[in-house]
Chains A and B, each alone.
Chain A
């Protein structure tokens, strides 16, 4: 059993333990769950210190037969792409637990148990190297989130959960069909094996089949991202979810979609990915702009942040489908950045909700007068979210836009509007909530941060600065993994490139000089 197995197993064990403990001992369960989450985080840090750069292939790999017939393996391992997403999951879970300390007062033990199950599923998704195992973890994640929203959510939680569930199920079913089809061709679920067979031509997919398979995976991931116009489940889910649910949903769960795009869509179906890139990019850019514009006019803070996520994740998809090293690195980095800064936004909005029992912007005003530290932390988070240099999002946005510009300059032009708009919606919300005359109800209900709340927020703020000032701690591992993926897409393009494909995949009006473009190699 290696470290990675432990990172998956500890939360799973914690989940079972929490379920077994009698209900009367709920307070102890909560502490125990926190202990499990912290332990998982500490163990996961071992992945970082043990991670070696320059290794071509999986690290902390573990491969055992799970089901004999059909042969399904428990095959897990990580590369630079998985590494930080796993850390993000293990980092945020203890925060999600801690922030719920007072918020969740009924069915306590189930709540915390589900958070651990969620963590287990998330780590599994990012580590799985067997397509069936991946699918299993993918579905495992769905269950706790379904209950988190359905049980501990707000008034319209049933509508939101049904919408959330159906949206995601539709994608999942298509993906499952595609996985089964691949199994019939390759006679294995093992991802590395399938990839090898696809690369060597052992599985020869004709053009139409490759496109269909690509679309099946793509749709599942695009819904999860969510990519415009498949995003309407997200605002409802966020608004109804308890704070911890929103944090985990926005920070990590959405990244399952973008992770899937990078991990599976690009390497397995490189030609289809490149062919379809233009319209996917258009959707991404539409999402950036429409998401931001709709965020601008939201009267509800959580909805505003939810729509801003649609906008931010448009950047991620744009970076992925730019097929450039810079763009892809930026996209992956932006997944982490969004996890930190939007997680922090939901966290702080949750703090406001616990005080005022409202998410409506109009119910606030003058918070800065009574809760200066809460306001400052919210401001820093806001600034991170709108891409202020020296904070994390800037680095990701810069790389994504640079990559997009290398692929097609007009993409960068349109996408950059999103950067203007992000300042509009965030600062305007900030003004109405925190500035202005002190609203009567704010005066009576809003207090500054408690020590527990400080403990939740500070790690996130620290990460914003760290990731904004010293991206070298993170990007090299990401770059290596991405280079391998791009290498694969570039090779596939060379072998099967038709004139039609060349037009779509061709880079730009401006030839890059920096060698940052995968095609140029």
Chain B
């Protein structure tokens, strides 16, 4: 029998060793421990796969009772079925590659051991997330990966923008988790259990309204973790983290947890058509919305970040129209090509000595041919060029969307065109033309990235943080400030080898792994849609148009973008500034909370009303000194009376007002 607990336990051991002793260990030892623990974990997953027929014969293991009280009985239980199997393979497989890549990418960084400790801890929680056999264990992983995301986004903790982005990620995710926890409470009330087995088998018999409420609350959770409207805002800022983190956590694995959760809960969602429709619309809206922003960004990581938001939207579209297996398929292929895009971007950034602004790149194909080649593979895949992995999964989603509602297909196709355009725009700007970087070294001025978006959005405090104003202008965005050699240089093989593997998977992954067929026993295949070939042709065409247009604008006719920019005027400004959503949240949520809490609740209610009553200030002008004087003159009783009277009056007033609400 395979011990499933070993799969997360290995990275956890890696975390403990590197976390506690890492400072004293050499970099070679640290990387060996970190990489081996994940690779071994991958090996275990493979052996579990082999012995269980890749999830054909589900495994369920109980280790100990975690929480038991009243009717609540939560076990620390792991399970593996086909869906888990795919997630395990993606997480440990891609995870291994990214760990290897990171040994090269982070080679010159301080806090090397800390980085790998966090990364291993992330693997531990992510594996818990996919292995957990009940909602609460899923939630353990869910919160845990959020913690690691927080730690890794804020890895360069001296830099304020980085730690602020980390806070923002954690807090925005907490808003999603608010929904997730309420969903769990409702599940327990409805089903008397949180075990997947018990809940999902009983779901069809429960009232639709309750299932809808559960599904919608879960969706709120998913919009946080998987960066969908309205909670996507943390993900672009999360690019403050080192690039391997962006690849692993913010592209390939963690952000897909919402898609996994919805697919896992398919039995609930399928009985809640309103919730399904909402999922599809949220996904589609996010896909198109984020894609438009992606068209305008110059920071290479930001482009891919918005692309991730957009592609996650596709996955939710798939889930929402009932094509769960197509969503999971896209989850997998996206993990291939998006991890590759990010790591390729990392290689580019590495080559340019920390530069992330594509306007300061160009012509890199001469200096970094391998990076250029693998990025081309990824860009072909995300554009949905026939035969590549992205083509299969995207087509499966779009076809299903057409079967559900043709307008969704058309919006999806337009988005696919935009996706192809902005990814190839990035490709041309980076690799074609002449190198525009000069020998700027470390002193980049990333004004555009700092004009907004980093000013304490998570909690918008604008009064007293002047003392620690150290906007990281002297650093590159993810602080990847290597010694700069003047001209761009190709990355070492520890970085390139994983890229080559991913390039292969990006191209052939759709061919090799037919996820819908694999998952057929869990998610029945979609019924045939008329004119499927025609639909396929349309989506291929959209992708090719996007690529051609980007070539036309950024290689053949370079003045065109500027002219279009001018012609669009205000609309361009709006999109370039990400529709001012951060500013909107800041003005409508964050600032009112901070100012209301300070003025109304603290100074007003607490110090004014309550303490006023307590101190007897209600009568007029008794200061604390006055009170003390009264105390000394033996007037303690009048003071005590005030305490009682004030407290009682308040108690009754608030109680009566409050009592009515119920």
Contacts and interface: CB of A to CB of B under 8 A. Distances in A.
Interface centre among B170, B174, B596, B614 (most CB of A within 10 A): B174
Contacts of B651: 219, 229-230, 283
B640 interface: yes
A60 interface: no
A420 B601 contact: no
Contact of A299 (B71, B464, B607): B464
Interface in A231-282: 232-233, 278-282
Contact of B655 (A282, A290, A470): A282
A419 interface: yes
A409 interface: yes
Given A278-B662, A368-B157, A406-B189, A471 B167 contact: no
Interface stretch (A97-105, A130-138, A165-173): A165-173
Contacts of A517: 70-71
B461 A398 contact: no
B661 A282 contact: yes
Contact of A398 (B136, B627, B661): B136
B598 A297 contact: yes
Interface in A106-159: 158-159
A419 B181 contact: yes
B301 to A, nearest CB: 21
Contacts of A278: 658-659, 662
Contacts of B136: 389, 398
Nearest to A363: B467
A472 B461 contact: no
Given A169-B640, A232-B606, A294-B597, A435 B69 contact: no
A399 interface: yes
A515 interface: yes
Contacts of B174: 419-420, 423-424
Interface stretch (A66-74, A175-183, A191-199, A321-329): A321-329
Contacts of A398: 67, 136, 181
Contacts of A395: 67
B407 interface: no
Interface string A354-376: 00000001100110110000000
A461 interface: no
B643 interface: yes
A163 interface: yes
Contacts of A514: 70-72, 188-189, 192-193
B72 A436 contact: no
A512 B594 contact: no
A508 B602 CA distance: 33
A482 B255 CA distance: 41
Given A282-B659, A326-B70, A439 B644 contact: no
A431 B167 contact: yes
B70 A516 contact: yes
A93 interface: no
Contact of A427 (B171, B468, B601): B171
B162 to A, nearest CB: 8
A437 interface: yes
B631 interface: yes
Contact of B628 (A159, A402, A476): A159
A324 B137 CA distance: 23
B190 interface: yes
A432 interface: yes
B210 to A, nearest CB: 8
A265 B555 CA distance: 78
A38 interface: no
B70 A513 contact: no
Interface stretch (B92-100, B139-147, B367-375): B139-147
Nearest to B217: A413
B56 interface: no
Interface centre among A166, A413, A438 (most CB of B within 10 A): A166
Contacts of B29: none
Nearest to A299: B464
B329 to A, nearest CB: 30
A505 interface: no
Contact of B70 (A293, A299, A403, A424): A403
B458 interface: yes
Nearest to A428: B459
A475 B659 contact: no
A457 to B, nearest CB: 15
Contacts of A413: 182
Contacts of A447: none
A447 to B, nearest CB: 16
Given A166-B643, A297-B594, A435 B163 contact: yes
B601 A290 contact: yes
A388 interface: yes
Contacts of A389: 136, 139-140, 143-144
A512 B186 CA distance: 9
Interface in B96-151: 136, 139-140, 143-144, 147, 150
A293 B654 contact: no
Interface in B160-215: 160, 163-164, 166-167, 170-171, 174-175, 177-178, 181-182, 184-186, 188-193, 210
Nearest to B625: A159
B598 A329 contact: no
B186 A436 contact: no
Contacts of A435: 154, 157-158, 160, 163
Contacts of A286: 654, 658
A433 to B, nearest CB: 10
B147 A279 contact: no
A388 B143 contact: yes
Contacts of B470: 436-437
B602 A427 contact: no
A383 interface: yes
B70 A427 contact: no
B593 interface: yes
B656 interface: yes
A434 B167 CA distance: 13
Contacts of B185: 401-402, 405-406, 409, 412
Interface centre among B64, B170, B188 (most CB of A within 10 A): B188
A416 interface: yes
B394 to A, nearest CB: 35
Contacts of B644: 170
A436 B602 contact: no
Contact of B662 (A325, A329, A394, A408): A408
Contacts of B163: 431, 435-436
A297 B72 contact: no
Contacts of A361: 464
Given A232-B611, A368-B157, A329 B69 contact: yes
Nearest 8 A/B pairs, CB to CB: A514-B71, A282-B658, A516-B70, A516-B71, A325-B70, A514-B192, A405-B185, A513-B192
10 contacts: A297-B594, A383-B147, A389-B144, A399-B67, A424-B174, A427-B171, A432-B468, A472-B68, A511-B189, A516-B70
Interface of B: 64-72, 136, 139-140, 143-144, 147, 150, 154, 157-158, 160, 163-164, 166-167, 170-171, 174-175, 177-178, 181-182, 184-186, 188-193, 210, 458-459, 461, 464-465, 467-468, 470, 593-594, 596-598, 601-602, 605-607, 610-611, 614, 624, 627-628, 631, 636, 639-640, 643-644, 647, 650-651, 654-656, 658-659, 661-662
Interface of A: 158-159, 162-163, 166-167, 169-170, 219, 223, 229-230, 232-233, 278-283, 286, 290, 293-294, 296-299, 324-326, 329-330, 361-362, 365-366, 368-369, 383, 388-390, 394-395, 398-399, 401-403, 405-406, 408-409, 412-413, 416-417, 419-420, 423-424, 427-428, 431-432, 434-439, 469-472, 475-476, 479, 508, 510-517
Given A399-B67, A409-B186, 20 more contacts: A162-B628, A169-B640, A170-B647, A294-B606, A297-B594, A297-B597, A297-B602, A298-B602, A388-B144, A389-B139, A389-B143, A406-B185, A413-B182, A419-B177, A437-B158, A437-B160, A438-B158, A479-B70, A512-B189, A513-B191
